[in-house]
Amino acid sequence: MGSWGDELWDRYPCVLDHVTSGVDELTIVLAKMVKERGEVEKEYARNIRKLVTKYTNKMEDKNKDVEEQTTYNRALRLILQEMGYQAGQHELLAESFCKIIPGELEEKAIQVSEATQENLKEVKRISEYRERCQLMLDKAKKKYQKSFLESNEAEKNYLKADSNSTISRNEIAKLKRTSDSLTAQCEDYRGTYASELVKTNKNQSEYYYKDLPAVINSLQNIEIGRIDFVKYALDQCVAAEKQVAHIIDKCREDMENAIQMIDPVADSDLLIDRVKTGNVPPHDLPFEENSCKEKVGRLRRNRSEQKLNKQPRLTELFPRKRETEEKISVIDSEIQKGQTEIKALRVMIQSYTQNPSFGDPFTFQKELDSSILKVQKLEAELLPLNLLLNEVNDQLIEKKSSRRSPLQKPRTSHKSLSDSPEGSRTSSAGYGTISNYSGSDSDSLGHSELGQEVVVALYEYDGECSDSSIAMEAGEEFIITEGDEGGWTKVRRKSRNTEGHQGFVPSAYLRLV
Protein backbone atom coordinates (compact mmCIF):
# COMPACT_ATOMS: atom_id res chain seq x y z
CA MET A 1 0.00 0.00 0.00
CA GLY A 2 1.33 3.42 -0.90
CA SER A 3 1.97 5.93 1.87
CA TRP A 4 0.54 9.40 1.60
CA GLY A 5 3.17 10.67 4.03
CA ASP A 6 5.99 9.55 1.78
CA GLU A 7 4.43 10.32 -1.57
CA LEU A 8 2.37 13.39 -0.78
CA TRP A 9 4.47 15.09 1.92
CA ASP A 10 4.35 18.37 0.04
CA ARG A 11 0.61 18.16 -0.82
CA TYR A 12 -1.01 18.45 2.60
CA PRO A 13 -3.60 21.12 1.60
CA CYS A 14 -4.74 18.98 -1.34
CA VAL A 15 -4.94 15.88 0.87
CA LEU A 16 -6.90 17.76 3.52
CA ASP A 17 -9.38 19.06 0.91
CA HIS A 18 -9.86 15.50 -0.37
CA VAL A 19 -10.63 14.11 3.08
CA THR A 20 -12.95 17.02 3.90
CA SER A 21 -14.89 16.47 0.67
CA GLY A 22 -15.32 12.82 1.75
CA VAL A 23 -17.22 14.02 4.80
CA ASP A 24 -19.59 15.94 2.55
CA GLU A 25 -19.94 12.85 0.39
CA LEU A 26 -21.13 10.85 3.40
CA THR A 27 -23.86 13.30 4.34
CA ILE A 28 -24.85 15.09 1.16
CA VAL A 29 -24.55 12.25 -1.33
CA LEU A 30 -24.72 8.80 0.24
CA ALA A 31 -27.00 9.49 3.21
CA LYS A 32 -29.36 11.53 1.03
CA MET A 33 -29.44 8.82 -1.63
CA VAL A 34 -30.33 6.13 0.96
CA LYS A 35 -33.03 8.38 2.45
CA GLU A 36 -34.60 9.00 -0.95
CA ARG A 37 -34.52 5.26 -1.61
CA GLY A 38 -36.33 4.78 1.69
CA GLU A 39 -38.97 7.34 0.66
CA VAL A 40 -39.52 5.36 -2.55
CA GLU A 41 -40.05 2.18 -0.51
CA LYS A 42 -42.36 4.01 1.90
CA GLU A 43 -44.46 5.42 -0.93
CA TYR A 44 -44.64 1.99 -2.57
CA ALA A 45 -45.77 0.39 0.69
CA ARG A 46 -48.35 3.16 1.17
CA ASN A 47 -49.78 2.61 -2.31
CA ILE A 48 -49.92 -1.15 -1.75
CA ARG A 49 -51.79 -0.56 1.52
CA LYS A 50 -54.28 1.68 -0.25
CA LEU A 51 -54.76 -0.91 -2.98
CA VAL A 52 -55.33 -3.72 -0.47
CA THR A 53 -57.79 -1.63 1.56
CA LYS A 54 -59.68 -0.48 -1.52
CA TYR A 55 -60.26 -3.90 -3.02
CA THR A 56 -60.77 -5.65 0.32
CA ASN A 57 -63.63 -3.24 1.05
CA LYS A 58 -65.03 -3.79 -2.44
CA MET A 59 -65.01 -7.56 -1.96
CA GLU A 60 -66.65 -7.25 1.46
CA ASP A 61 -69.40 -5.04 0.03
CA LYS A 62 -69.90 -7.44 -2.85
CA ASN A 63 -69.97 -10.62 -0.76
CA LYS A 64 -71.51 -9.38 2.48
CA ASP A 65 -74.81 -11.17 1.73
CA VAL A 66 -73.14 -14.34 0.42
CA GLU A 67 -72.84 -17.16 2.94
CA GLU A 68 -70.25 -19.28 1.11
CA GLN A 69 -67.57 -17.60 -0.94
CA THR A 70 -66.17 -18.91 -4.18
CA THR A 71 -62.67 -20.33 -4.28
CA TYR A 72 -61.43 -17.50 -6.46
CA ASN A 73 -62.81 -14.96 -3.98
CA ARG A 74 -61.01 -16.72 -1.16
CA ALA A 75 -57.85 -16.84 -3.28
CA LEU A 76 -58.15 -13.14 -4.05
CA ARG A 77 -58.58 -12.38 -0.35
CA LEU A 78 -55.45 -14.40 0.44
CA ILE A 79 -53.54 -12.61 -2.31
CA LEU A 80 -54.61 -9.23 -0.92
CA GLN A 81 -53.58 -10.40 2.53
CA GLU A 82 -50.15 -11.45 1.27
CA MET A 83 -49.83 -8.11 -0.51
CA GLY A 84 -50.44 -6.47 2.85
CA TYR A 85 -47.64 -8.58 4.32
CA GLN A 86 -45.38 -7.49 1.46
CA ALA A 87 -46.25 -3.86 2.15
CA GLY A 88 -45.21 -4.43 5.75
CA GLN A 89 -41.82 -5.72 4.62
CA HIS A 90 -41.35 -2.69 2.38
CA GLU A 91 -42.21 -0.48 5.36
CA LEU A 92 -39.46 -2.19 7.38
CA LEU A 93 -37.07 -1.65 4.48
CA ALA A 94 -38.10 2.01 4.28
CA GLU A 95 -37.41 2.42 8.01
CA SER A 96 -33.91 1.00 7.53
CA PHE A 97 -33.24 3.27 4.56
CA CYS A 98 -34.79 6.41 6.05
CA LYS A 99 -33.59 6.22 9.66
CA ILE A 100 -31.12 3.51 10.60
CA ILE A 101 -28.52 3.58 7.81
CA PRO A 102 -28.58 7.40 7.24
CA GLY A 103 -28.22 7.87 11.00
CA GLU A 104 -25.11 5.71 11.02
CA LEU A 105 -23.72 7.59 8.02
CA GLU A 106 -24.27 10.96 9.67
CA GLU A 107 -22.65 9.71 12.87
CA LYS A 108 -19.63 8.50 10.88
CA ALA A 109 -19.44 11.85 9.09
CA ILE A 110 -19.26 13.60 12.47
CA GLN A 111 -16.46 11.27 13.58
CA VAL A 112 -14.49 11.86 10.38
CA SER A 113 -14.97 15.61 10.69
CA GLU A 114 -13.74 15.59 14.29
CA ALA A 115 -10.71 13.46 13.35
CA THR A 116 -9.94 15.84 10.48
CA GLN A 117 -10.10 18.81 12.82
CA GLU A 118 -7.72 17.10 15.26
CA ASN A 119 -5.36 16.38 12.38
CA LEU A 120 -5.47 20.02 11.30
CA LYS A 121 -4.64 21.12 14.85
CA GLU A 122 -1.65 18.76 14.94
CA VAL A 123 -0.35 20.12 11.63
CA LYS A 124 -0.74 23.64 12.92
CA ARG A 125 1.19 22.76 16.10
CA ILE A 126 4.18 21.20 14.35
CA SER A 127 4.20 23.98 11.74
CA GLU A 128 4.22 26.66 14.41
CA TYR A 129 7.12 24.96 16.24
CA ARG A 130 9.08 24.74 13.02
CA GLU A 131 8.41 28.41 12.31
CA ARG A 132 9.58 29.36 15.80
CA CYS A 133 12.80 27.44 15.30
CA GLN A 134 13.32 29.13 11.92
CA LEU A 135 12.64 32.52 13.47
CA MET A 136 15.18 31.96 16.23
CA LEU A 137 17.72 30.81 13.62
CA ASP A 138 17.17 33.93 11.58
CA LYS A 139 17.51 36.08 14.66
CA ALA A 140 20.79 34.38 15.70
CA LYS A 141 22.07 34.69 12.15
CA LYS A 142 21.34 38.38 12.01
CA LYS A 143 23.09 39.00 15.31
CA TYR A 144 26.10 37.06 14.13
CA GLN A 145 26.22 38.95 10.82
CA LYS A 146 25.94 42.28 12.60
CA SER A 147 28.58 41.37 15.16
CA PHE A 148 30.87 40.12 12.42
CA LEU A 149 30.65 43.40 10.54
CA GLU A 150 31.21 45.40 13.70
CA SER A 151 34.23 43.31 14.72
CA ASN A 152 35.74 43.66 11.24
CA GLU A 153 35.20 47.38 11.29
CA ALA A 154 36.80 47.66 14.74
CA GLU A 155 39.78 45.61 13.62
CA LYS A 156 40.24 47.82 10.54
CA ASN A 157 40.13 50.94 12.70
CA TYR A 158 42.69 49.47 15.08
CA LEU A 159 45.09 48.51 12.29
CA LYS A 160 44.74 51.89 10.65
CA ALA A 161 45.41 53.70 13.96
CA ASP A 162 48.36 51.44 14.74
CA SER A 163 50.02 52.34 11.44
CA ASN A 164 49.48 56.06 11.99
CA SER A 165 52.27 57.64 14.09
CA THR A 166 50.24 60.67 14.96
CA ILE A 167 47.74 58.72 17.12
CA SER A 168 48.61 58.28 20.75
CA ARG A 169 49.28 54.91 22.27
CA ASN A 170 46.35 55.25 24.62
CA GLU A 171 44.01 55.79 21.70
CA ILE A 172 45.49 52.81 19.88
CA ALA A 173 45.11 50.60 22.99
CA LYS A 174 41.54 51.71 23.31
CA LEU A 175 40.79 50.77 19.69
CA LYS A 176 42.51 47.42 20.23
CA ARG A 177 40.35 46.64 23.28
CA THR A 178 37.22 47.54 21.29
CA SER A 179 38.28 45.30 18.42
CA ASP A 180 39.02 42.38 20.73
CA SER A 181 35.70 42.81 22.51
CA LEU A 182 33.72 42.89 19.29
CA THR A 183 35.64 39.89 17.99
CA ALA A 184 34.79 37.90 21.14
CA GLN A 185 31.18 38.98 20.87
CA CYS A 186 31.15 37.89 17.21
CA GLU A 187 32.45 34.50 18.22
CA ASP A 188 29.69 34.16 20.79
CA TYR A 189 27.03 35.11 18.26
CA ARG A 190 28.64 32.73 15.80
CA GLY A 191 28.35 29.87 18.35
CA THR A 192 24.74 30.78 19.07
CA TYR A 193 23.97 30.87 15.37
CA ALA A 194 25.64 27.50 14.85
CA SER A 195 23.65 26.00 17.74
CA GLU A 196 20.36 27.36 16.40
CA LEU A 197 21.27 26.10 12.95
CA VAL A 198 21.79 22.57 14.24
CA LYS A 199 18.57 22.73 16.21
CA THR A 200 16.61 24.07 13.25
CA ASN A 201 17.99 21.47 10.88
CA LYS A 202 17.09 18.72 13.30
CA ASN A 203 13.56 20.11 13.67
CA GLN A 204 13.23 20.48 9.94
CA SER A 205 14.32 16.90 9.41
CA GLU A 206 11.79 15.66 11.97
CA TYR A 207 9.11 17.83 10.41
CA TYR A 208 9.55 16.59 6.84
CA TYR A 209 10.51 13.00 7.55
CA LYS A 210 8.52 12.17 10.67
CA ASP A 211 5.87 14.63 11.93
CA LEU A 212 4.33 15.78 8.64
CA PRO A 213 4.25 12.27 7.09
CA ALA A 214 2.64 10.95 10.28
CA VAL A 215 -0.06 13.61 10.07
CA ILE A 216 -0.67 12.92 6.39
CA ASN A 217 -0.76 9.18 7.06
CA SER A 218 -3.35 9.89 9.74
CA LEU A 219 -5.48 11.54 7.05
CA GLN A 220 -4.97 8.46 4.89
CA ASN A 221 -6.22 6.23 7.73
CA ILE A 222 -9.24 8.50 8.16
CA GLU A 223 -9.98 8.22 4.44
CA ILE A 224 -9.59 4.42 4.52
CA GLY A 225 -11.95 4.22 7.49
CA ARG A 226 -14.48 6.44 5.73
CA ILE A 227 -14.45 4.36 2.56
CA ASP A 228 -14.63 1.15 4.58
CA PHE A 229 -17.72 2.50 6.34
CA VAL A 230 -19.25 3.40 2.98
CA LYS A 231 -18.70 -0.23 2.00
CA TYR A 232 -20.36 -1.34 5.26
CA ALA A 233 -23.34 1.00 4.75
CA LEU A 234 -23.94 -0.20 1.18
CA ASP A 235 -23.65 -3.79 2.38
CA GLN A 236 -26.25 -3.02 5.06
CA CYS A 237 -28.60 -1.73 2.36
CA VAL A 238 -28.24 -4.94 0.39
CA ALA A 239 -28.60 -7.06 3.55
CA ALA A 240 -31.83 -5.24 4.46
CA GLU A 241 -33.21 -5.95 0.99
CA LYS A 242 -32.17 -9.60 1.16
CA GLN A 243 -33.81 -9.97 4.56
CA VAL A 244 -37.19 -8.74 3.37
CA ALA A 245 -36.79 -10.43 -0.02
CA HIS A 246 -36.91 -13.83 1.69
CA ILE A 247 -40.25 -13.02 3.32
CA ILE A 248 -41.58 -11.42 0.14
CA ASP A 249 -40.68 -14.60 -1.77
CA LYS A 250 -42.58 -16.60 0.87
CA CYS A 251 -45.58 -14.32 0.29
CA ARG A 252 -45.34 -15.02 -3.43
CA GLU A 253 -45.28 -18.76 -2.74
CA ASP A 254 -48.42 -18.41 -0.63
CA MET A 255 -50.01 -16.44 -3.47
CA GLU A 256 -49.20 -19.25 -5.89
CA ASN A 257 -50.71 -21.78 -3.49
CA ALA A 258 -53.84 -19.64 -3.19
CA ILE A 259 -54.13 -19.47 -6.96
CA GLN A 260 -53.84 -23.26 -7.20
CA MET A 261 -56.78 -23.53 -4.77
CA ILE A 262 -59.15 -21.95 -7.30
CA ASP A 263 -61.70 -24.53 -8.47
CA PRO A 264 -63.76 -23.16 -11.39
CA VAL A 265 -66.19 -26.10 -11.37
CA ALA A 266 -66.90 -25.78 -7.65
CA ASP A 267 -67.38 -22.01 -8.02
CA SER A 268 -69.90 -22.55 -10.80
CA ASP A 269 -71.77 -25.08 -8.62
CA LEU A 270 -72.06 -22.51 -5.84
CA LEU A 271 -74.34 -20.40 -8.00
CA ILE A 272 -76.72 -23.35 -8.22
CA ASP A 273 -76.93 -23.63 -4.43
CA ARG A 274 -77.24 -19.87 -4.07
CA VAL A 275 -80.07 -19.07 -6.50
CA LYS A 276 -81.70 -22.44 -7.18
CA THR A 277 -85.48 -22.38 -6.59
CA GLY A 278 -86.37 -26.03 -7.23
CA ASN A 279 -89.02 -24.97 -9.76
CA VAL A 280 -89.63 -26.93 -12.93
CA PRO A 281 -90.42 -25.57 -16.39
CA PRO A 282 -94.15 -25.10 -17.23
CA HIS A 283 -96.09 -27.84 -19.00
CA ASP A 284 -96.75 -27.77 -22.73
CA LEU A 285 -99.51 -25.46 -23.89
CA PRO A 286 -102.67 -27.32 -24.95
CA PHE A 287 -104.08 -26.98 -28.43
CA GLU A 288 -106.98 -24.51 -28.50
CA GLU A 289 -109.73 -24.85 -31.09
CA ASN A 290 -110.62 -21.60 -32.75
CA SER A 291 -114.27 -21.29 -33.81
CA CYS A 292 -113.82 -18.00 -35.65
CA LYS A 293 -111.51 -18.23 -38.64
CA GLU A 294 -111.06 -14.51 -38.93
CA LYS A 295 -109.56 -14.29 -35.44
CA VAL A 296 -106.64 -16.56 -36.06
CA GLY A 297 -103.12 -15.20 -36.35
CA ARG A 298 -101.93 -12.52 -33.97
CA LEU A 299 -104.92 -12.97 -31.63
CA ARG A 300 -104.14 -16.65 -31.11
CA ARG A 301 -100.54 -15.88 -30.32
CA ASN A 302 -101.55 -13.25 -27.80
CA ARG A 303 -103.92 -15.66 -26.04
CA SER A 304 -101.22 -18.34 -25.96
CA GLU A 305 -98.77 -15.88 -24.46
CA GLN A 306 -101.37 -14.77 -21.90
CA LYS A 307 -102.03 -18.38 -20.96
CA LEU A 308 -98.32 -19.05 -20.58
CA ASN A 309 -97.93 -15.94 -18.43
CA LYS A 310 -100.98 -16.83 -16.31
CA GLN A 311 -99.62 -20.20 -15.32
CA PRO A 312 -99.28 -20.32 -11.53
CA ARG A 313 -95.79 -19.55 -10.20
CA LEU A 314 -94.34 -22.61 -8.50
CA THR A 315 -93.19 -22.31 -4.94
CA GLU A 316 -89.48 -21.78 -4.59
CA LEU A 317 -88.70 -24.95 -2.71
CA PHE A 318 -84.93 -24.85 -2.69
CA PRO A 319 -84.69 -21.54 -0.77
CA ARG A 320 -87.23 -22.95 1.69
CA LYS A 321 -85.04 -26.02 2.06
CA ARG A 322 -81.95 -23.91 2.78
CA GLU A 323 -83.83 -21.76 5.29
CA THR A 324 -85.27 -24.82 7.04
CA GLU A 325 -81.88 -26.52 7.23
CA GLU A 326 -80.39 -23.38 8.79
CA LYS A 327 -83.13 -23.27 11.43
CA ILE A 328 -82.65 -26.99 12.15
CA SER A 329 -78.91 -26.45 12.56
CA VAL A 330 -79.44 -23.61 15.04
CA ILE A 331 -81.97 -25.60 17.10
CA ASP A 332 -79.71 -28.69 17.03
CA SER A 333 -76.88 -26.60 18.46
CA GLU A 334 -79.13 -25.23 21.21
CA ILE A 335 -80.37 -28.74 22.07
CA GLN A 336 -76.80 -30.02 22.31
CA LYS A 337 -75.96 -27.19 24.71
CA GLY A 338 -79.07 -27.90 26.76
CA GLN A 339 -78.34 -31.61 26.98
CA THR A 340 -74.77 -30.89 28.10
CA GLU A 341 -76.12 -28.56 30.77
CA ILE A 342 -78.64 -31.19 31.91
CA LYS A 343 -75.93 -33.82 32.25
CA ALA A 344 -73.79 -31.45 34.28
CA LEU A 345 -76.69 -30.54 36.57
CA ARG A 346 -77.55 -34.20 37.11
CA VAL A 347 -73.94 -34.90 38.04
CA MET A 348 -74.06 -32.01 40.50
CA ILE A 349 -77.33 -33.25 42.03
CA GLN A 350 -75.93 -36.78 42.30
CA SER A 351 -72.74 -35.54 43.93
CA TYR A 352 -74.65 -33.39 46.43
CA THR A 353 -77.00 -36.29 47.17
CA GLN A 354 -74.13 -38.69 47.86
CA ASN A 355 -72.26 -36.07 49.89
CA PRO A 356 -74.75 -34.01 51.92
CA SER A 357 -71.87 -31.97 53.32
CA PHE A 358 -71.57 -30.25 49.94
CA GLY A 359 -74.98 -28.65 50.32
CA ASP A 360 -78.63 -29.06 49.42
CA PRO A 361 -79.08 -30.93 46.09
CA PHE A 362 -82.51 -29.36 45.56
CA THR A 363 -80.85 -26.00 44.90
CA PHE A 364 -80.09 -27.31 41.40
CA GLN A 365 -83.46 -28.96 40.83
CA LYS A 366 -85.22 -25.83 39.64
CA GLU A 367 -82.41 -25.09 37.21
CA LEU A 368 -82.53 -28.69 35.98
CA ASP A 369 -86.30 -28.52 35.44
CA SER A 370 -85.86 -25.26 33.52
CA SER A 371 -83.18 -26.80 31.32
CA ILE A 372 -85.32 -29.90 30.66
CA LEU A 373 -88.28 -27.73 29.72
CA LYS A 374 -86.13 -25.65 27.42
CA VAL A 375 -84.82 -28.76 25.62
CA GLN A 376 -88.34 -30.19 25.32
CA LYS A 377 -89.60 -26.99 23.73
CA LEU A 378 -86.65 -26.95 21.34
CA GLU A 379 -87.37 -30.57 20.35
CA ALA A 380 -91.01 -29.68 19.83
CA GLU A 381 -89.89 -26.85 17.52
CA LEU A 382 -87.45 -29.13 15.76
CA LEU A 383 -89.95 -31.84 14.84
CA PRO A 384 -92.21 -29.77 12.56
CA LEU A 385 -89.12 -28.33 10.90
CA ASN A 386 -87.88 -31.83 10.13
CA LEU A 387 -91.31 -32.77 8.82
CA LEU A 388 -91.33 -29.66 6.67
CA LEU A 389 -87.87 -30.48 5.37
CA ASN A 390 -88.95 -34.00 4.46
CA GLU A 391 -91.98 -32.62 2.63
CA VAL A 392 -89.83 -30.11 0.73
CA ASN A 393 -87.37 -32.86 -0.23
CA ASP A 394 -90.25 -35.04 -1.43
CA GLN A 395 -91.68 -32.17 -3.46
CA LEU A 396 -88.27 -31.46 -4.99
CA ILE A 397 -87.99 -35.11 -6.01
CA GLU A 398 -91.52 -35.09 -7.42
CA LYS A 399 -90.87 -31.89 -9.36
CA LYS A 400 -87.73 -33.36 -10.86
CA SER A 401 -89.65 -36.44 -11.93
CA SER A 402 -92.57 -34.31 -13.16
CA ARG A 403 -90.38 -32.84 -15.86
CA ARG A 404 -90.97 -36.05 -17.79
CA SER A 405 -94.44 -36.70 -16.34
CA PRO A 406 -96.07 -33.30 -16.02
CA LEU A 407 -99.50 -34.75 -15.14
CA GLN A 408 -98.25 -36.62 -12.07
CA LYS A 409 -99.90 -35.32 -8.93
CA PRO A 410 -97.78 -34.14 -6.01
CA ARG A 411 -98.07 -36.09 -2.81
CA THR A 412 -97.62 -35.15 0.80
CA SER A 413 -96.32 -37.30 3.55
CA HIS A 414 -95.67 -37.20 7.25
CA LYS A 415 -92.50 -39.20 7.58
CA SER A 416 -90.97 -39.92 10.92
CA LEU A 417 -87.74 -38.32 11.98
CA SER A 418 -85.86 -41.55 11.58
CA ASP A 419 -86.54 -41.56 7.79
CA SER A 420 -84.13 -38.68 7.09
CA PRO A 421 -80.70 -37.66 8.28
CA GLU A 422 -82.06 -34.33 9.48
CA GLY A 423 -84.76 -35.98 11.51
CA SER A 424 -82.66 -38.56 13.27
CA ARG A 425 -82.51 -36.62 16.54
CA THR A 426 -83.68 -38.46 19.62
CA SER A 427 -86.48 -36.93 21.66
CA SER A 428 -86.02 -35.77 25.24
CA ALA A 429 -86.17 -39.25 26.75
CA GLY A 430 -85.93 -39.33 30.52
CA TYR A 431 -87.29 -35.82 31.07
CA GLY A 432 -90.58 -36.92 32.74
CA THR A 433 -93.10 -36.43 29.86
CA ILE A 434 -95.23 -38.83 27.82
CA SER A 435 -92.45 -39.19 25.25
CA ASN A 436 -89.92 -40.61 27.72
CA TYR A 437 -91.64 -43.81 28.85
CA SER A 438 -89.55 -46.87 28.06
CA GLY A 439 -90.11 -50.60 27.72
CA SER A 440 -93.71 -51.81 27.69
CA ASP A 441 -95.17 -48.35 28.17
CA SER A 442 -93.59 -47.11 24.95
CA ASP A 443 -94.70 -50.18 23.05
CA SER A 444 -98.29 -49.89 24.31
CA LEU A 445 -98.47 -46.23 23.36
CA GLY A 446 -96.83 -46.58 19.97
CA HIS A 447 -98.19 -49.81 18.48
CA SER A 448 -101.33 -51.04 20.29
CA GLU A 449 -104.86 -49.75 20.53
CA LEU A 450 -104.72 -47.27 23.37
CA GLY A 451 -108.41 -47.02 24.05
CA GLN A 452 -109.24 -44.35 26.58
CA GLU A 453 -105.75 -43.24 27.63
CA VAL A 454 -106.31 -39.65 28.79
CA VAL A 455 -103.63 -36.97 28.77
CA VAL A 456 -103.66 -33.33 29.84
CA ALA A 457 -101.85 -30.47 28.07
CA LEU A 458 -99.05 -28.96 30.12
CA TYR A 459 -98.53 -25.96 27.84
CA GLU A 460 -100.36 -23.98 25.21
CA TYR A 461 -99.75 -24.95 21.57
CA ASP A 462 -100.96 -23.01 18.52
CA GLY A 463 -101.05 -25.97 16.11
CA GLU A 464 -99.53 -24.06 13.18
CA CYS A 465 -96.55 -26.35 12.57
CA SER A 466 -98.36 -28.43 9.95
CA ASP A 467 -101.81 -29.09 8.56
CA SER A 468 -102.18 -32.29 10.56
CA SER A 469 -101.53 -30.67 13.98
CA ILE A 470 -104.19 -29.10 16.20
CA ALA A 471 -104.09 -26.32 18.75
CA MET A 472 -104.50 -26.89 22.47
CA GLU A 473 -104.60 -24.91 25.67
CA ALA A 474 -102.87 -25.62 28.95
CA GLY A 475 -105.02 -27.91 31.11
CA GLU A 476 -107.11 -29.23 28.21
CA GLU A 477 -107.67 -33.02 28.22
CA PHE A 478 -107.31 -35.33 25.23
CA ILE A 479 -107.70 -39.01 24.38
CA ILE A 480 -104.70 -40.68 22.70
CA THR A 481 -105.54 -42.29 19.37
CA GLU A 482 -102.00 -43.03 18.16
CA GLY A 483 -98.91 -43.41 20.30
CA ASP A 484 -95.79 -41.29 20.36
CA GLU A 485 -93.74 -41.36 17.17
CA GLY A 486 -90.81 -39.04 16.69
CA GLY A 487 -91.97 -36.72 19.49
CA TRP A 488 -95.59 -36.35 18.23
CA THR A 489 -98.77 -38.00 19.51
CA LYS A 490 -102.11 -38.13 17.72
CA VAL A 491 -105.01 -37.20 20.03
CA ARG A 492 -108.64 -36.12 19.91
CA ARG A 493 -110.34 -33.73 22.22
CA LYS A 494 -112.12 -35.34 25.12
CA SER A 495 -114.94 -32.86 24.97
CA ARG A 496 -115.71 -33.49 21.26
CA ASN A 497 -115.45 -36.67 19.19
CA THR A 498 -115.82 -35.15 15.75
CA GLU A 499 -113.11 -35.81 13.19
CA GLY A 500 -112.25 -32.10 12.89
CA HIS A 501 -111.06 -32.02 16.48
CA GLN A 502 -108.22 -34.53 16.35
CA GLY A 503 -104.64 -34.32 15.16
CA PHE A 504 -101.01 -34.33 16.22
CA VAL A 505 -99.60 -32.45 19.21
CA PRO A 506 -96.07 -32.43 20.74
CA SER A 507 -95.61 -35.37 23.11
CA ALA A 508 -93.42 -33.19 25.32
CA TYR A 509 -96.45 -30.98 26.04
CA LEU A 510 -98.56 -33.88 27.40
CA ARG A 511 -98.83 -35.68 30.72
CA LEU A 512 -100.79 -38.85 31.43
CA VAL A 513 -103.71 -38.35 33.77
Domain chopping of the chain, boundaries: 4-265, 315-407+415-426, 428-513
CB atoms within 10 A of CB 499: 8
Least confident range of 87-101, 225-239, 263-277, 314-328 = 314-328
Residues β-bridged to residue 506? 488
- DSSP label at residue 313: P
**Fold observed for domain 4-265:** Substrate Binding Domain Of Dnak; Chain:A; Domain 2 (1.20.1270)
R_g over Cα of the chain: 57
What is the distance between the alpha carbons of residues 27 and 105, in angstroms, rounded to a whole number? 7
Residue 434 has pLDDT above 50, yes or no: no
pLDDT for 90 equals 94
Report residue 500: phi and psi, to 5°. Answer: -70, -5
The confidence score (pLDDT) of residue 425 equals 37
Residue 140 burial by CB count (10 A; 0-12/13-18/19+): exposed, middle or buried?
A: buried
β partners of residue 81: none
pLDDT of residue 461: 79
Q: How confident is the model at residue 67 (pLDDT cuts 50, 70, 90)?
A: low
Determine the Cα–Cα distance for residues 155 and 159; give it in Å rounded to an integer: 6
Beta-carbon count within 10 A of 210 CB: 12
pLDDT tens, position by position, 227-281? 999 999 999 999 999 999 999 999 999 999 999 999 999 888 888 877 777 666 7
In the chain, % helix, strand, coil (3-state, to 5) comes to 70, 5, 20
pLDDT > 60? residue 343? yes
CATH of 428-513, one of 1.10.530.10, 1.10.10.10, 2.30.30.40, 3.40.50.720: 2.30.30.40
- The pLDDT score that the predictor gives to residue 25 is 87
The SS3 of residue 364 is helix
The mean per-residue pLDDT over the stretch 27-34 comes to: 90
**Are both 4-265 and 428-513 of the same fold?**
no
Q: Which amino acid is at 131?
A: E
Residue 38 has pLDDT above 90, yes or no: yes
